[in-house]
Amino acid sequence: MNGPGDTSESVADPRKRVLIIGGGLAGLAAAEGLAEQFPERFAIRLLEAKRTTGGRAGSFMDTTTGASVDYCQHVAMGCCTNFLGLMQRRGLSNQLHRYSQLQFYHPDFPVSTFGPSQWLPPPLHLMPALSALRYLSRTQRRQIRRGLFRLFRSRSEQLTGRIAEDWLREHGQDPDTIRDFWGVIVVSALGESIDRVSLAAVRKVFVDGFAAARGASDVIVPKLPLVELIGEKLTAEIRGLGVEIVTGQTVRQIIDSGNAGSVVTAGGEIHHADHVVVAVPWHSLANLIPQGSVAEVERLTSLPSSPISGLHLWFDRQITDLPHAVMVGTVSQWIFRQPWGTEDSSKGFYYQVVISASQSARCLPRQQLIETVIGELQHAFPAAKEANLRQSKVVTDPQSIFSISPEFEAIRPPSQTQLSWLHLAGDWIATGWPATMEGAVISGRMAAANILEAESLGNLEVDSGLRWGWLARQLIQV
């Protein structure tokens, strides 16, 4: 019989009880993977502490305009096949814009358009795009081509444990090239600076994100605020598969009860489950899980995180009609125009400037940071000189993402823990991916795959990515 606060299912239900803690993309992907494959075999309940699902891929309500604003603009790339697969299976692909060209703005040079060739085979399709970056000299482009080739010819195991900047210097990249090319791509893609970031992660970005397949570097931007895309639409689709999703439920503790687990919520409810998937961020894990169930858990929490800042700017007029642009040699790194195009001039024209690895930017006084960024925008987009800033907000999460250093890479745990019923998900587990929506979705599918395997129900595929071009297969080490 169930005790007070005990919410276990009736013993008559033959389905295996799966409890997922955390309703970010990792938890949602775990639920979707199981429910889609075996709807009749599992009773899946997901508990999320906040009022909406989506986790870090979420939005806040701006009280002045009444609009949902993403904490920080999220983009995926064409290589993010698990995230895109999830969106496609749940009928949401039409809610994503896809761009194959990027504009690069450097304060001292005319704008450059980066667009891979449609005719050359990967990885050569990138060469015209590289040549089009007008702020790089010929010598720098030659260095970069040599550096890329060396990186492609090295196996990732040979690069493990190394910091990217050290390797780049050893391989003939001068400081300006490291700052203006490698650093620009790396900080946007990995959210960490070149002097701290793992070289193996950098290789992954250039191989999987650019070189190996056509379309890999396409930039994919949601057409809706994240709270609508993930918190509402994706969540509704997953509920439609029979998953029970409960928001506003914080889990305080997970207890080992032999070959199953029990979960205690902040309100004192107890849920028993045959499988528990913990899909919370790495820094929230240690207090939840039974002692000894995950190795190095204290160390995971103690390693530094990487902050990302979003500067939300509402002008009284349009400053550029570009959907987005990369900014080089400035504090600003990316600018995004509101992607859902519902500018109502009474509410202002919304733009967001993103600064990843924003340790130094966030030390500036808020007003100084805004003034610096506005000055950079005025330099890049002359229309900004006429524009008045109506409203601004700076949002920085100091624990935005884990810092993808060699130390962190070395201790990322697998999804399976020491306890057969306890599984991990989250962008921080050992997926081989940086902290991204793609990494989160892969991790959720890995947890779902563990459960299927434990229940002898076969396998759940993690998509292995875009098919490499034939020349890429010859030139790039697997």
Joined tokens for residue 459: 């396998």
Cβ 230 to ligand FAD, closest distance in Å? 8
- Choose, by CB under 6 A, the member of 64, 250, 302, 360 that binds ligand FAD: 250
Joined tokens for residue 219: 């930039």
Distance CA 176, CA 408 (A): 28
Residues of span 169-228 touching ligand FAD by CB under 6 A: none
Residues of span 279-308 touching ligand FAD by CB under 6 A: 279-281, 284, 288, 308
For the chain, what is the largest distance between any 2 Cα atoms, rounded to a whole number of angstroms? Answer: 76
Cβ 49 to ligand FAD, closest distance in Å? 4
- Choose, by CB under 6 A, the member of 25, 207, 319, 462 that binds ligand FAD: 25
Residue whose CB is less far from ligand FAD, 71 or 468: 71
Single-letter residue type at 80: C
- Choose, by CB under 6 A, the member of 44, 75, 212, 424 that binds ligand FAD: 75
Residue whose CB is less far from ligand FAD, 196 or 271: 271
Is there a contact between 287 and 364 (Cβ–Cβ < 8 Å)? no
Cβ 444 to ligand FAD, closest distance in Å? 7
- Choose, by CB under 6 A, the member of 16, 17, 19, 23 that binds ligand FAD: 23
- Choose, by CB under 6 A, the member of 18, 401, 449, 460 that binds ligand FAD: 401
What percentage of the chain's residues is helix, strand, coil (to nearest 5)?
Answer: 35, 20, 45
Based on the shown chain and the rule CB under 6 A, indicate whether residue 440 belongs to the binding site for ligand FAD: yes
- CA-CA distances (angstroms) from residue 113 to 94, 104, 133, 143, 365? 26, 6, 7, 20, 33
Distance CA 123, CA 127 (A): 8
Cβ 76 to ligand FAD, closest distance in Å? 5
Q: Under DSSP, is residue 140 helix (H, G, I), strand (E, B) or coil?
A: helix
Tokens 């010598």 -> residue: 139
Based on the shown chain and the rule CB under 6 A, indicate whether residue 319 belongs to the binding site for ligand FAD: no
Based on the shown chain and the rule CB under 6 A, indicate whether residue 426 belongs to the binding site for ligand FAD: yes
- CA-CA distances (angstroms) from residue 167 to 67, 105, 186, 465? 45, 27, 14, 27
- Choose, by CB under 6 A, the member of 36, 218, 343, 397 that binds ligand FAD: 397
Cβ 311 to ligand FAD, closest distance in Å? 12
- Could you tell me how many residues of this chain bind ligand FAD (CB under 6 A)? 38
Residue whose CB is less far from ligand FAD, 173 or 333: 333
Joined tokens for residue 138: 């010929």
Centre a 10 Å sphere on the Cβ of residue 373 and count the other Cβ atoms it contains: 25
Based on the shown chain and the rule CB under 6 A, indicate whether residue 49 belongs to the binding site for ligand FAD: yes
Q: Under DSSP, is residue 424 helix (H, G, I), strand (E, B) or coil?
A: strand
Pick the stretch among 16-24, 168-176, 340-348, 460-468 that binds ligand FAD (CB under 6 A). 16-24
Q: Is the peptide bond before 116 cis (omega within 30 degrees of 0)?
A: no
Based on the shown chain and the rule CB under 6 A, indicate whether residue 312 belongs to the binding site for ligand FAD: no
Residue whose CB is less far from ligand FAD, 25 or 234: 25
- Choose, by CB under 6 A, the member of 436, 447, 468, 475 that binds ligand FAD: 436
- Choose, by CB under 6 A, the member of 103, 400, 403, 416 that binds ligand FAD: 400
- Choose, by CB under 6 A, the member of 56, 125, 204, 312 that binds ligand FAD: 56
- Which of 7, 9, 53 has the alpha carbon at shortest distance from 27? 53
Torsional sign, CA 89, 92, 96, 98: positive
Distance CA 70, CA 397 (A): 13
Rg (CA), the chain: 23
Instruction: Provide long-range contacts, Cβ within 8 A and 24+ apart, for 258-261.
Output: 259/420, 259/421, 260/421, 261/19, 261/419, 261/421, 261/422
Distance CA 210, CA 466 (A): 11
- Choose, by CB under 6 A, the member of 187, 437, 447, 452 that binds ligand FAD: 437
Distance CA 442, CA 82 (A): 6
Based on the shown chain and the rule CB under 6 A, indicate whether residue 448 belongs to the binding site for ligand FAD: no
Based on the shown chain and the rule CB under 6 A, indicate whether residue 47 belongs to the binding site for ligand FAD: yes
Cβ 171 to ligand FAD, closest distance in Å? 28
Based on the shown chain and the rule CB under 6 A, indicate whether residue 90 belongs to the binding site for ligand FAD: no
Centre a 10 Å sphere on the Cβ of residue 457 and count the other Cβ atoms it contains: 16
Residues in contact with ligand FAD by CB under 6 A are 21-27, 47-50, 55-57, 71-72, 74-76, 250-251, 279-281, 284, 288, 308, 397, 400-401, 426-427, 435-440
